[in-house]
Amino acid sequence: MAGRHHPDTLCDIARMDHALPAPCGIVPPHLLERLARSGGAAPAEAARRTLETDARLRTARRLDPAHRARAAGDAGDGGDGGDGGTARRTLYDAGNRTLLPGVRVRSEGGEPVADACVNRVHAGLGATAALLHEVYGRRSLDGAGLPLEASVHYGEGYANASWDGRRLVLGDGDGEVFGDFTAAVDVIAHELAHGLTQHSAGLAHFGQPGALNESVSDVVGSLVKQRVLGQGAEEADWLVGAGLLGPRVPGAALRSLRAPGTAYDDALLGADPQPATMAGYVRTPRDNGGVHINSGIPNHAFYLLATRLGGPAWERAGRIWLDVLTGGRLHRDADFAAFARLTAAAAAERYGRGEEHDAVLKAWSQVGVDPGAR
Protein backbone atom coordinates (compact mmCIF):
# COMPACT_ATOMS: atom_id res chain seq x y z
CA MET A 1 0.00 0.00 0.00
CA ALA A 2 1.48 3.34 -1.05
CA GLY A 3 2.89 5.39 1.79
CA ARG A 4 3.02 2.51 4.26
CA HIS A 5 6.05 0.58 5.44
CA HIS A 6 5.76 -3.19 5.16
CA PRO A 7 8.50 -5.21 6.91
CA ASP A 8 10.18 -8.02 5.04
CA THR A 9 12.92 -10.48 5.96
CA LEU A 10 15.66 -7.89 5.48
CA CYS A 11 13.83 -5.35 7.59
CA ASP A 12 13.19 -7.92 10.32
CA ILE A 13 16.93 -8.56 10.47
CA ALA A 14 17.77 -4.86 10.40
CA ARG A 15 15.19 -4.13 13.10
CA MET A 16 17.13 -6.40 15.47
CA ASP A 17 20.07 -4.01 15.12
CA HIS A 18 18.23 -0.71 14.69
CA ALA A 19 19.26 0.72 18.05
CA LEU A 20 22.78 1.08 16.69
CA PRO A 21 23.95 4.16 14.80
CA ALA A 22 22.99 3.86 11.14
CA PRO A 23 25.56 2.54 8.66
CA CYS A 24 25.67 5.93 7.04
CA GLY A 25 27.81 6.75 4.01
CA ILE A 26 27.02 9.60 1.63
CA VAL A 27 27.72 7.34 -1.39
CA PRO A 28 25.07 4.60 -1.54
CA PRO A 29 26.27 0.99 -1.65
CA HIS A 30 24.47 0.35 -4.95
CA LEU A 31 26.74 2.94 -6.60
CA LEU A 32 29.89 1.46 -5.11
CA GLU A 33 28.82 -2.08 -6.00
CA ARG A 34 28.18 -1.11 -9.61
CA LEU A 35 31.52 0.68 -9.81
CA ALA A 36 33.32 -2.27 -8.22
CA ARG A 37 31.94 -4.57 -10.93
CA SER A 38 33.08 -2.28 -13.73
CA GLY A 39 36.53 -3.85 -14.16
CA GLY A 40 40.06 -3.66 -12.89
CA ALA A 41 40.65 0.08 -13.21
CA ALA A 42 41.67 2.19 -10.23
CA PRO A 43 38.13 3.48 -9.44
CA ALA A 44 36.79 -0.10 -9.40
CA GLU A 45 39.50 -1.20 -6.99
CA ALA A 46 38.87 1.86 -4.81
CA ALA A 47 35.15 1.04 -4.77
CA ARG A 48 35.87 -2.53 -3.66
CA ARG A 49 38.12 -1.29 -0.87
CA THR A 50 35.50 1.26 0.16
CA LEU A 51 32.80 -1.43 0.40
CA GLU A 52 35.12 -3.58 2.51
CA THR A 53 36.00 -0.62 4.73
CA ASP A 54 32.34 0.34 5.19
CA ALA A 55 31.60 -3.26 6.21
CA ARG A 56 34.36 -3.11 8.83
CA LEU A 57 32.99 0.18 10.16
CA ARG A 58 29.55 -1.41 10.52
CA THR A 59 31.03 -4.41 12.32
CA ALA A 60 32.96 -2.14 14.68
CA ARG A 61 29.74 -0.30 15.54
CA ARG A 62 27.96 -3.55 16.34
CA LEU A 63 30.77 -4.80 18.57
CA ASP A 64 31.51 -1.56 20.42
CA PRO A 65 29.44 -1.28 23.64
CA ALA A 66 30.11 2.47 23.72
CA HIS A 67 28.30 2.85 20.39
CA ARG A 68 25.35 0.96 21.82
CA ALA A 69 25.27 3.33 24.80
CA ARG A 70 25.38 6.38 22.55
CA ALA A 71 22.62 4.96 20.37
CA ALA A 72 20.49 4.51 23.46
CA GLY A 73 20.83 8.20 24.22
CA ASP A 74 23.97 8.43 26.34
CA ALA A 75 26.00 11.39 25.11
CA GLY A 76 29.11 10.09 26.84
CA ASP A 77 31.56 12.84 27.78
CA GLY A 78 29.85 15.46 25.67
CA GLY A 79 28.40 17.65 28.38
CA ASP A 80 30.52 20.73 27.79
CA GLY A 81 30.46 21.48 24.10
CA GLY A 82 31.93 24.95 23.86
CA ASP A 83 30.58 28.47 23.96
CA GLY A 84 27.27 29.41 22.36
CA GLY A 85 26.52 27.67 19.08
CA THR A 86 30.07 26.46 18.36
CA ALA A 87 30.44 22.89 19.52
CA ARG A 88 33.94 21.91 20.58
CA ARG A 89 35.61 20.65 17.39
CA THR A 90 38.57 18.29 17.10
CA LEU A 91 40.09 17.31 13.75
CA TYR A 92 42.28 14.27 13.14
CA ASP A 93 44.40 13.11 10.20
CA ALA A 94 44.05 9.36 9.63
CA GLY A 95 47.06 9.41 7.29
CA ASN A 96 45.28 7.25 4.68
CA ARG A 97 45.05 4.43 7.20
CA THR A 98 41.89 2.97 8.73
CA LEU A 99 42.89 3.28 12.38
CA LEU A 100 40.63 5.88 14.00
CA PRO A 101 40.73 8.62 14.96
CA GLY A 102 44.29 9.32 13.73
CA VAL A 103 46.63 12.14 14.74
CA ARG A 104 45.03 15.25 16.21
CA VAL A 105 45.78 18.19 13.92
CA ARG A 106 43.38 20.97 14.95
CA SER A 107 41.32 21.71 18.04
CA GLU A 108 38.65 24.26 18.91
CA GLY A 109 40.13 27.75 18.94
CA GLY A 110 43.24 26.69 17.04
CA GLU A 111 44.58 28.52 14.02
CA PRO A 112 44.02 27.20 10.48
CA VAL A 113 46.58 24.61 9.41
CA ALA A 114 48.34 23.97 6.11
CA ASP A 115 45.97 21.14 5.17
CA ALA A 116 42.94 22.65 3.41
CA CYS A 117 40.92 19.47 4.03
CA VAL A 118 41.24 19.97 7.79
CA ASN A 119 40.21 23.62 7.56
CA ARG A 120 37.21 22.88 5.33
CA VAL A 121 35.88 20.24 7.69
CA HIS A 122 36.50 22.48 10.71
CA ALA A 123 34.40 25.17 9.00
CA GLY A 124 31.71 22.66 8.00
CA LEU A 125 31.36 21.39 11.55
CA GLY A 126 31.02 24.98 12.72
CA ALA A 127 28.44 25.86 10.06
CA THR A 128 26.30 22.87 11.05
CA ALA A 129 26.55 23.63 14.76
CA ALA A 130 25.70 27.28 14.03
CA LEU A 131 22.56 26.35 12.08
CA LEU A 132 21.35 24.10 14.88
CA HIS A 133 22.02 26.64 17.61
CA GLU A 134 21.33 29.99 15.99
CA VAL A 135 18.21 28.95 14.09
CA TYR A 136 16.77 26.05 16.09
CA GLY A 137 18.18 26.69 19.57
CA ARG A 138 19.85 23.28 19.79
CA ARG A 139 23.33 22.92 21.28
CA SER A 140 25.18 20.53 19.00
CA LEU A 141 23.82 17.17 17.86
CA ASP A 142 22.50 15.98 21.21
CA GLY A 143 21.11 19.29 22.45
CA ALA A 144 23.69 19.33 25.28
CA GLY A 145 26.82 20.51 23.47
CA LEU A 146 28.23 17.20 22.25
CA PRO A 147 31.81 17.76 21.01
CA LEU A 148 32.27 17.21 17.28
CA GLU A 149 35.07 15.02 15.98
CA ALA A 150 36.15 14.33 12.42
CA SER A 151 38.93 12.31 10.78
CA VAL A 152 40.16 13.27 7.29
CA HIS A 153 42.35 11.34 4.83
CA TYR A 154 40.74 8.11 5.96
CA GLY A 155 41.82 4.97 4.12
CA GLU A 156 43.52 4.59 0.77
CA GLY A 157 41.29 6.00 -1.96
CA TYR A 158 38.31 5.75 0.40
CA ALA A 159 35.40 6.91 -1.75
CA ASN A 160 32.94 7.89 0.93
CA ALA A 161 32.13 10.05 3.92
CA SER A 162 30.58 8.35 6.91
CA TRP A 163 29.20 8.90 10.39
CA ASP A 164 30.46 6.08 12.61
CA GLY A 165 28.24 6.83 15.60
CA ARG A 166 30.89 8.97 17.23
CA ARG A 167 32.69 10.97 14.56
CA LEU A 168 32.68 12.04 10.94
CA VAL A 169 35.05 10.05 8.71
CA LEU A 170 36.04 11.40 5.28
CA GLY A 171 38.05 9.90 2.47
CA ASP A 172 40.03 11.52 -0.32
CA GLY A 173 38.09 9.73 -3.07
CA ASP A 174 39.59 7.78 -5.96
CA GLY A 175 40.49 10.94 -7.88
CA GLU A 176 38.61 9.89 -11.02
CA VAL A 177 34.98 9.06 -10.27
CA PHE A 178 34.79 10.59 -6.79
CA GLY A 179 36.75 13.61 -5.63
CA ASP A 180 37.71 14.88 -2.19
CA PHE A 181 34.83 14.39 0.25
CA THR A 182 35.89 17.37 2.36
CA ALA A 183 35.17 19.76 -0.51
CA ALA A 184 31.37 19.90 -0.10
CA VAL A 185 29.90 21.46 3.04
CA ASP A 186 26.57 19.69 2.47
CA VAL A 187 28.37 16.32 2.57
CA ILE A 188 29.88 17.25 5.94
CA ALA A 189 26.51 18.44 7.25
CA HIS A 190 24.69 15.39 5.82
CA GLU A 191 26.86 13.02 7.82
CA LEU A 192 26.67 15.11 10.99
CA ALA A 193 22.89 15.07 10.62
CA HIS A 194 22.98 11.29 11.05
CA GLY A 195 24.37 12.06 14.49
CA LEU A 196 21.53 14.52 15.04
CA THR A 197 19.01 11.81 14.17
CA GLN A 198 20.88 9.32 16.36
CA HIS A 199 20.55 11.67 19.33
CA SER A 200 16.90 12.60 18.69
CA ALA A 201 14.36 10.41 16.90
CA GLY A 202 16.81 7.54 16.33
CA LEU A 203 15.18 6.58 13.04
CA ALA A 204 16.03 3.01 12.11
CA HIS A 205 18.10 2.49 8.98
CA PHE A 206 15.87 0.19 6.97
CA GLY A 207 12.85 0.61 4.68
CA GLN A 208 10.87 3.81 5.00
CA PRO A 209 12.34 4.82 8.40
CA GLY A 210 15.79 4.48 6.84
CA ALA A 211 14.75 6.52 3.80
CA LEU A 212 13.52 9.22 6.20
CA ASN A 213 16.85 9.00 8.04
CA GLU A 214 18.73 9.60 4.79
CA SER A 215 16.31 12.30 3.69
CA VAL A 216 16.67 14.25 6.93
CA SER A 217 20.43 14.24 6.38
CA ASP A 218 20.00 15.49 2.80
CA VAL A 219 17.67 18.22 4.05
CA VAL A 220 20.04 19.37 6.81
CA GLY A 221 22.97 19.24 4.40
CA SER A 222 21.05 21.39 1.95
CA LEU A 223 20.05 23.88 4.67
CA VAL A 224 23.63 24.28 5.87
CA LYS A 225 24.89 24.76 2.31
CA GLN A 226 22.20 27.31 1.48
CA ARG A 227 22.79 29.24 4.70
CA VAL A 228 26.55 29.35 4.10
CA LEU A 229 25.90 30.65 0.57
CA GLY A 230 23.15 33.03 1.67
CA GLN A 231 20.67 31.51 -0.78
CA GLY A 232 16.89 31.48 -0.64
CA ALA A 233 14.89 28.42 -1.64
CA GLU A 234 14.22 29.73 -5.14
CA GLU A 235 17.88 30.34 -6.07
CA ALA A 236 19.45 27.24 -4.48
CA ASP A 237 20.50 24.34 -6.70
CA TRP A 238 19.06 21.69 -4.30
CA LEU A 239 21.88 19.31 -5.18
CA VAL A 240 23.65 17.09 -2.63
CA GLY A 241 27.34 16.61 -3.31
CA ALA A 242 27.62 19.00 -6.24
CA GLY A 243 31.18 18.93 -7.53
CA LEU A 244 31.93 15.61 -5.85
CA LEU A 245 31.72 13.59 -9.06
CA GLY A 246 34.88 13.56 -11.15
CA PRO A 247 35.20 15.08 -14.63
CA ARG A 248 34.75 11.68 -16.30
CA VAL A 249 31.26 11.30 -14.82
CA PRO A 250 28.36 13.03 -16.63
CA GLY A 251 26.34 14.23 -13.70
CA ALA A 252 25.76 17.15 -11.40
CA ALA A 253 25.76 15.54 -7.95
CA LEU A 254 24.84 12.47 -5.92
CA ARG A 255 21.21 13.49 -5.45
CA SER A 256 18.75 16.22 -6.39
CA LEU A 257 15.92 17.33 -4.13
CA ARG A 258 14.46 19.45 -6.90
CA ALA A 259 14.32 16.59 -9.40
CA PRO A 260 15.10 13.18 -7.88
CA GLY A 261 16.28 10.75 -10.55
CA THR A 262 18.24 13.36 -12.55
CA ALA A 263 21.45 13.86 -10.56
CA TYR A 264 23.62 11.68 -12.82
CA ASP A 265 23.45 9.30 -15.78
CA ASP A 266 26.71 7.52 -16.40
CA ALA A 267 27.95 4.31 -18.02
CA LEU A 268 29.92 3.40 -14.89
CA LEU A 269 27.43 4.49 -12.21
CA GLY A 270 24.21 3.99 -14.14
CA ALA A 271 21.26 6.36 -13.95
CA ASP A 272 20.10 8.03 -10.76
CA PRO A 273 17.41 5.62 -9.44
CA GLN A 274 15.66 7.98 -7.01
CA PRO A 275 11.88 8.39 -7.40
CA ALA A 276 10.24 11.75 -6.77
CA THR A 277 6.83 10.30 -5.85
CA MET A 278 5.29 7.14 -4.42
CA ALA A 279 4.35 6.07 -7.94
CA GLY A 280 8.01 5.20 -8.42
CA TYR A 281 8.64 3.69 -4.97
CA VAL A 282 11.33 1.01 -5.24
CA ARG A 283 10.93 -2.25 -3.33
CA THR A 284 14.31 -3.93 -3.02
CA PRO A 285 16.15 -6.10 -0.49
CA ARG A 286 19.37 -4.19 -1.19
CA ASP A 287 20.62 -1.03 0.52
CA ASN A 288 18.57 -1.88 3.65
CA GLY A 289 15.40 -1.72 1.61
CA GLY A 290 16.43 1.13 -0.68
CA VAL A 291 17.08 3.77 1.96
CA HIS A 292 19.27 5.87 -0.37
CA ILE A 293 16.81 5.45 -3.24
CA ASN A 294 13.36 6.08 -1.75
CA SER A 295 14.70 9.03 0.25
CA GLY A 296 14.02 10.96 -2.96
CA ILE A 297 10.32 11.04 -2.05
CA PRO A 298 10.54 12.91 1.30
CA ASN A 299 13.41 14.94 -0.18
CA HIS A 300 11.13 16.18 -2.94
CA ALA A 301 8.33 16.90 -0.46
CA PHE A 302 10.69 19.17 1.47
CA TYR A 303 11.81 20.93 -1.70
CA LEU A 304 8.18 21.54 -2.70
CA LEU A 305 7.38 22.92 0.75
CA ALA A 306 10.44 25.17 0.89
CA THR A 307 9.93 26.65 -2.57
CA ARG A 308 6.20 27.11 -2.03
CA LEU A 309 6.89 29.08 1.17
CA GLY A 310 9.84 30.94 -0.35
CA GLY A 311 12.66 32.75 1.38
CA PRO A 312 15.42 30.96 3.29
CA ALA A 313 14.53 27.26 3.50
CA TRP A 314 16.09 26.98 6.95
CA GLU A 315 13.42 29.26 8.38
CA ARG A 316 9.83 28.01 8.11
CA ALA A 317 10.30 24.74 6.20
CA GLY A 318 13.40 23.78 8.15
CA ARG A 319 11.80 24.60 11.49
CA ILE A 320 8.88 22.29 10.74
CA TRP A 321 11.18 19.38 9.84
CA LEU A 322 13.44 19.94 12.88
CA ASP A 323 10.44 20.26 15.17
CA VAL A 324 9.40 16.78 14.10
CA LEU A 325 12.88 15.25 14.28
CA THR A 326 13.65 16.57 17.76
CA GLY A 327 10.15 16.87 19.21
CA GLY A 328 9.97 13.45 20.85
CA ARG A 329 6.94 12.14 18.93
CA LEU A 330 8.66 10.65 15.89
CA HIS A 331 8.95 6.88 16.36
CA ARG A 332 12.13 5.15 15.18
CA ASP A 333 10.02 2.90 12.91
CA ALA A 334 7.99 5.78 11.40
CA ASP A 335 6.95 5.48 7.76
CA PHE A 336 6.43 8.33 5.29
CA ALA A 337 2.77 8.81 6.24
CA ALA A 338 3.61 9.05 9.94
CA PHE A 339 6.30 11.63 9.25
CA ALA A 340 3.91 13.57 7.02
CA ARG A 341 1.25 13.61 9.76
CA LEU A 342 3.76 14.96 12.25
CA THR A 343 4.99 17.69 9.89
CA ALA A 344 1.40 18.82 9.33
CA ALA A 345 0.81 18.87 13.09
CA ALA A 346 4.09 20.72 13.69
CA ALA A 347 3.19 23.36 11.10
CA ALA A 348 -0.21 23.89 12.73
CA GLU A 349 1.30 24.11 16.22
CA ARG A 350 3.99 26.60 15.25
CA TYR A 351 2.17 28.69 12.61
CA GLY A 352 -1.52 27.86 12.88
CA ARG A 353 -3.66 26.35 10.15
CA GLY A 354 -2.69 28.86 7.52
CA GLU A 355 -0.17 29.10 4.70
CA GLU A 356 2.48 26.85 6.23
CA HIS A 357 0.04 24.08 7.17
CA ASP A 358 -1.57 24.13 3.75
CA ALA A 359 1.84 24.08 2.06
CA VAL A 360 2.87 20.98 4.04
CA LEU A 361 -0.31 19.14 3.04
CA LYS A 362 0.12 20.10 -0.62
CA ALA A 363 3.77 19.04 -0.70
CA TRP A 364 3.04 15.56 0.66
CA SER A 365 0.02 15.18 -1.59
CA GLN A 366 2.14 16.06 -4.60
CA VAL A 367 4.57 13.22 -3.86
CA GLY A 368 1.74 10.75 -3.26
CA VAL A 369 1.87 10.50 0.54
CA ASP A 370 -1.37 10.92 2.49
CA PRO A 371 -0.72 12.56 5.88
CA GLY A 372 -4.03 11.14 7.07
CA ALA A 373 -3.15 7.50 6.26
CA ARG A 374 -2.64 5.10 9.15
What pLDDT sits at residue 13? 37
Q: Which residues pair with 149 in a beta bridge?
A: 90
Percent of the chain exceeding pLDDT 90 equals: 78
Regarding predicted confidence, which is higher, 3 or 344? 344
Q: What is the mean pLDDT of the chain?
A: 89
Which residues participate in catalysis according to the annotation? 191, 292
The torsion region of residue 62 among left (phi > 0), alpha (psi -120 to 50) and beta comes to alpha
What pLDDT sits at residue 1? 36
Minimal CA–CA distance to 24: which of 218, 307, 252, 285?
218
Q: 215-224 pLDDT, tens per residue?
A: 999 999 999 9
Q: Which residues pair with 178 in a beta bridge?
A: 245
Q: 177-214 pLDDT, tens per residue?
A: 999 999 999 999 999 999 999 999 999 999 999 999 99
What pLDDT sits at residue 41? 83
What pTM does this model have? Answer: 0.90
Give the three-class secondary structure for 149. strand
Q: Which domains does the chain have, with CATH numbers?
A: 22-198 (3.10.170.10), 207-366 (1.10.390.10)
Q: Are strands 161-163 and 168-170 parallel, antiparallel or unpaired?
A: antiparallel
Instruction: Determine contact, residues 320/305, Cβ cutoff 8 Å.
Output: yes
Whole-Å CA distances, 95 to 72, 104, 170, 171: 31, 11, 11, 10
